[in-house]
Amino acid sequence: MESHLQHNPDLTSAVIYGLGWVYLLLFVLNCAWVRRSYAVDGNFRLSLGGLLGKGQEVPFAALWAIYCAMLLMVGIAHLTGSGNPQTFPLKMPEILKEPINAGSNPVAFFVFSTSLFIAMIVFRKVWTTMTAGWLLLNFALLFVTLSVTDYDFRQIVGKPDNVPIVAMLYIVGFFTWLYFRKSVENDKRRAEGRPLVEQENNEKVLTWPDLVYTELICMVVLTAILIAWGIVLQAPLEEPASAAKTPNPSKAPWYFLGLQEMLVYFDPWMAGVVLPSVILVGLMAIPYIDFNKLGNGYYTFNERKFAISTFLFGFLPLWVAMIVLGTFLRGPNWNFFSPYEYWDVHKLELLNNVNVSEWFWLSIMDRQLPVAPAGSDQLTQIGMILLREWLGLVLVAAYLFALPPLMAATVFRKFFSRMGFLRYMVLANLMLFMMSLPIKMVLRWAVRLKYIVAIPEWFFNI
Amino acid sequence: MDEKKPSTADILAKIRAQKAAAAASSETPAPAAPAPESAAPVPAAEAPVAPAAAPKPAAPAAKPGSTKDILAAIRAKGAGGAAATPAAAEAAPATTPAKPASPAASAGPRPSVQDMLKAVREGKVGAAPAAAAPAAGAAKSAVAAPAMPAKPASATSKKAPSPQRRSLAVLLVVACTSLGCFIGSALTGSVLLFLAGMLVWSLLMTPFMAAFASLAEVGGLWTLHTARFMMPNVLVEPPSKFKVGPLSDYPLNTVSNKWKDQYGVWIVHTDQYEGQNLIFALASVCTHLGCTPSWLDGEQKFKCPCHGSGFYITGVNFEGPAPRPLERMGLKIAEGMLEVDKSMKFQEEMGQWTDPASFVAVS
């Protein structure tokens, strides 16, 4: 640990200098926010525990102003103190790094992202206010700014490959916030019996010039960004490809890292062919299985709770979070690495996985796996394979065939009566396929399960 | 909000009003002189301004900003314009000579599509019998008649098949002769024959036949060469059998990376597979998705960098998603050396590792 730290210093002059400008930028942004806060937020009564007597009216903007001043000082400290990186004090404290590193593993990551998703929906009224949004943005920016002072974090996040993913995280966060903000507003209006935002301000504009001009400006700005990006960040080229040497770690394009993470838990045939097809077909099927006519042309959450939660679950924890996991937390040999952990090629992680059949025959029945005697005919072999895998086959069959009617009778009772048999079955199967990913992930982590049905003889593993 | 932000309809109405005012001020002083095009918009613009301006004060109460209003305004303008145009045209009929001309043209001598089709059909019908009985068709096909004089001689109809047959025969003879010459030249390498072929080719052919014959020849050669191209006369893959040195090169419980880059095999010598002391060749292809795993000597395992599959030194999978063990290649001793045969593969889950061709036992 100590040896590589010397070669890979946490701080360099260039990093400190660059961070100084980031803090200055944050300062400028927050100055604007102070102005807005002064105009909008109003006052609170400050008594300082009786020091100020009865207390004094202080605008909320004062707190932001203090924060602003701190940012300015920190920024100046970075810009002037970049000469001595070894002794520079302002970096991510070890006290923060250690619990983050200690708590980082696939289970914690998945639990964290899923609970974040649930909290996002439950507390949607709280975190979609302007102030909360600004706080979250500041928090996210400060987290990255501080973390960049760590060598290992910087190596991963600063890789030119990964820059679009960092940008994507902020963009996804912003649009999710925007959606929830608009739908919370509309839901409140519905509850109070007022007209929706879209009905109240239904001023329509003309395609020409309003829309076309907007598109033109977007086109120009986007082109400018792409050109600047192409000049500033060089393409991360590697050595010539060789069939005998796979880069370690070997990563898919960033938008497919969710798929690559899926491949860790499933047979390539499942994760590479069946599940992606189901995702595509499922997205196409949404208009046909959706019977809820509400929410058409305006933002709402309360009127489309099921549809939106299901979609967002598939998109945020199961796709975006998997991209984050695959990009930032998967290192050499596809091992899991904490954000501030050195990417050690020789990290030892024992993952002795077991199939359901092995667990059943070896552990429960305490005997060898049933194997067809050598030279037996085709039928015996098939019989023996089926006997070996009977438990897994029964489980999968129960999952796919017994659960839909069960759900129809219980949680989806209303859905079933409204949708009819065929549409309901499509919905139920899509749901089950989507849930198969987290189920398999949890089983892999919790009980080291490899395959529920493992028939490598036929390339059939589930 | 309404006061701050004028709606699109307001803006449009304002612009229209300004235009109308401008038009009125500039055009009206001399209404008779200018062309009807500029005279027409004046009443057209004036007409909608009156209805559009009248409801405007009342509009804010009744949602001025809707698309409907804009459409209504435009429609009103259209109606006003339409009403105004004939008036303008009547007022100054002399200045618009083109307009009365065009309806006259369409109603008058201009032929309809049916007429044209009829004319063409008659022309065709007339053309065929024209050679046999031109007198009968003369009255019928007045349109097509002038085209006929080009084909006067009725005698050609008798001779007609003959030049075709002759040209076909010539084509065949020339093609065969020249092709024979070319093949002969290609076989014997004789330049003379080739030149002869070219001579026959160029002397005896009409341009028409030469074109088609060339096309056929080029197309044929192209097809033949494409077929040839599909089966190149080279072997791109390395030989499937190769020697990897004597037994003594591979000490017990080691994995040799020596042949991995070139041939994609590990030579493994271990006694951990069912207690037998064996040397075997493992293909360096992960059974999950085909990446190349690395042998980690410290951990004594093969580890795939793509999805983290791990295999023991024996090649048996134990971690990650790989569903089956690594595959063995054929291995035997030939002339005192170990020889790998990549054309054979042995899969553990199929029970093929018991095949004596898949390993060399070390005593």
Instruction: Name beta bridge partners: B328.
Output: B282, B346
Please give the Cα distance from A45 to A54 (Å, whole number): 9
Q: Kindly report the CA angle at A448 between A258 and A401, in degrees rounded to 5?
A: 70
Cβ <8 Å between A264 and B67: no
A7 touches B at CB < 8 Å: no
How far lies B228's CA from each of A398, B138, B179, B188, B236, in Å? 56, 62, 20, 21, 16
* Banded model confidence at residue A227, pLDDT cuts 50, 70, 90: very high
Of A248, A263, A351, nearest to B310 by CB-CB distance is A351
Q: What is the pLDDT of residue A219?
A: 97
Question: CA–CA separation, B330 vs B291, rounded Å?
Answer: 21
State the Cα–Cα distance between residues A60 and A65, nearest whole angstrom: 9
- Max avg pLDDT among A48-57, A95-104, A219-228, B104-113: A219-228
Backbone angles phi, psi at A43, to 5 degrees: -115, 165
Question: How many beta carbons lie within 10 A of that of residue B126, not counting itself?
Answer: 21
A451 shares contact with chain B (CB less than 8 Å)? yes
B324 interfaces chain A, CB cutoff of 8 Å: yes
Q: Alpha-carbon distance A103 to A101, whole Å?
A: 5
Residue of B292, B299, B306 with shortest CB distance to A244? B292
Annotate A3-60 with DSSP letters as a single string: HHHHHS-S--HHHHHHHHHHHHHHHHHHHHHHHHHHHHT-EEEE-TTTTTTT-EEEET
Residues on chain B touching A263 (C-beta within 8 angstroms): 288-289, 306-307, 321
Which segments of chain B have a pLDDT < 70? 1-6, 23-66, 68, 77-111, 120, 122-164, 166-167, 203-205
Q: Give yes or no for residue A347 having a pLDDT over 50.
A: yes
CB of A82 closer than 8 Å to CB of A13: yes
Structure tokens given for B357: 């061709």
How confident is the model over A259-266, as a mean pLDDT?
88
Lowest mean pLDDT among A255-269, A339-353, B273-287: A339-353
The CATH code that applies to domain B241-361 is 2.102.10.10
The predicted pLDDT at position A121 comes to 95
B296 in contact with A at a CB cutoff of 8 Å?
A: yes
**Average pLDDT for chain A:** 88
Measured between CA atoms, how close is A58 to chain B, in angstroms?
Answer: 32
Q: Cβ–Cβ of B318/A352 closer than 8 Å?
A: yes
Residues 6+ apart with CB under 8 A from A57: A43, A44, A45, A46
pTM of the full predicted structure? Answer: 0.66
Q: Chain A partners of B291 at a C-beta cutoff of 8 Å?
A: 246, 250
Q: What is the pLDDT of residues A367-412, one digit of tens each?
A: 888 888 877 888 888 888 898 899 999 999 999 999 999 999 999 9
Which residues in chain B have Cβ-Cβ distances shorter than 8 Å to A249? 305-306
Q: Is the separation of the CB atoms in B235 and B249 below 8 Å?
A: no
CA dihedral B326, B332, B338, B340 (to 10 degrees): -50
Residue with tokens 């395959």: A451
The whole-number pLDDT of residue B126 equals: 46
Tokens standing for residue A162: 């990964």
**What chain B residue is nearest to A353 in terms of C-alpha separation?**
B319
Q: Does A332 touch chain B (CB under 8 A)?
A: yes
Q: What is the DSSP string of B266-291?
A: EEEEES-STT--EEEEEES--TTT--
Q: Is pLDDT of A436 > 80?
A: yes
State residue B42's pLDDT score: 43
Q: Which residue of chain B is at minimal alpha-carbon distance from A347?
A: B299
Tell me the DSSP string of A279-328: HHHHHHHHHHH-----SSSS--SGGGHHHHHHHHHHHIIIIIHHHHIIII
User: Higher pLDDT residue, B27 or A254?
Assistant: A254
CA distance B84 to chain A (A): 28
The pLDDT > 90 percentage for chain A reads 44
User: Distance between CA atoms of B168 and B209, rounded to whole angstroms?
Assistant: 9
Chain B closest-CA separation from residue A420 CA (Å): 38
Please give the pLDDT value at position A183: 95
Beta bridge partners of B303: B294, B310
Question: Please, are residues A13 and A85 in contact by the beta-carbon 8 Å criterion?
Answer: yes
Collect all residues with Cβ–Cβ distance below 8 Å to A171 and sequence separation of at least 6: none
Contacts across the A-B interface (CB distance below 8 Å): 94
Percent of the residues in chain A that have a pLDDT greater than 70, as a whole number: 98
Cβ-contact A173, A321 below 8 angstroms: no
Which tens digits make up the pLDDT trace of A184-200?
A: 999 999 999 999 988 88
> CA–CA separation, A408 vs A427, rounded Å?
11
Min distance A444 CA to chain B CA atoms (Å): 10
d(CA A112, CA A101): 14
Beta-bridge partner residues of A336: A330
* Predicted local confidence at residue A114, as pLDDT: 92
pLDDT at A95 (0 to 100): 86
Cβ atoms B171, B148 nearer than 8 A: no
Domain range list for chain B: 8-95, 169-217, 241-361
* pLDDT confidence band for A177 (50 / 70 / 90): very high
Residue type for position B321 = P
Taking the domains of chain A in order of start, what are their residue ranges? 1-89, 92-195+205-235+251-349, 356-461
User: What is the rounded CA–CA span in Å between residue A68 and residue A76?
Assistant: 12
Q: Does B291 touch chain A (CB under 8 A)?
A: yes
Confidence (pLDDT) at A233: 83
Cβ pair B320:A350 closer than 8 A: no
Contacts of range A181-186, beta carbons closer than 8 Å, 24 or more positions apart: A181/A128, A181/A129, A181/A133, A182/A299, A183/A124, A183/A299, A183/A300, A183/A301, A183/A302, A184/A124, A184/A125, A184/A128, A184/A301, A185/A299, A186/A298, A186/A299, A186/A300
Residues 246 to 285 of A: which have CB under 8 A from any B CB? 246-250, 260, 263-268, 272
